[in-house]
């Protein structure tokens, strides 16, 4: 997922995340996806994703969001 996000292929990373989610997901996979989405300006999707994973968010996730907003 990280490599896909770095290449700007965030939609493919998101699809991969959906597959991973069906097998269980971790904070690391969410952090990578959030970072990639933020870098492509998809802040609305990130906010929705944070609502889904409430309680599992980390400082790294919020730093990615703040970086993308400023």
pLDDT (tens, 9 = 90+) of the chain, 70 residues, equals 778 888 888 888 878 877 777 666 677 778 888 888 888 888 888 888 888 887 777 787 888 888 888 8
Q: What is the pTM of this model?
A: 0.63
What's the pLDDT score for residue 23? 66
What's the pLDDT score for residue 52? 80
Total domains present in the chain: 1
Q: Which residues contact 42 (CB under 8 A, 6 or more apart)?
A: 10
What span, in angstroms and rounded, lies between the C-alpha atoms of 54 and 70? 23
What's the pLDDT score for residue 48? 85
Residues 34-70 as b/e (b if ≥16 CB within 10 A, e otherwise) read bbbbbebebeebbeebbeeeeeebeeebeebbeebee
Domain span at 6: 2-69
């Amino acid at each position: 997922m990280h490599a896909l996000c770095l290449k700007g292929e965030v939609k493919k990373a998101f699809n991969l995340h959906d597959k991973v989610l069906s097998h269980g997901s971790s904070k690391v996979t969410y952090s990578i996806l959030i970072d990639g989405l933020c870098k492509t300006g998809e802040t609305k999707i990130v906010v929705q994703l944070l609502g889904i994973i409430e309680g599992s968010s980390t400082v790294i996730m919020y730093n990615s969001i703040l970086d993308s907003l400023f």
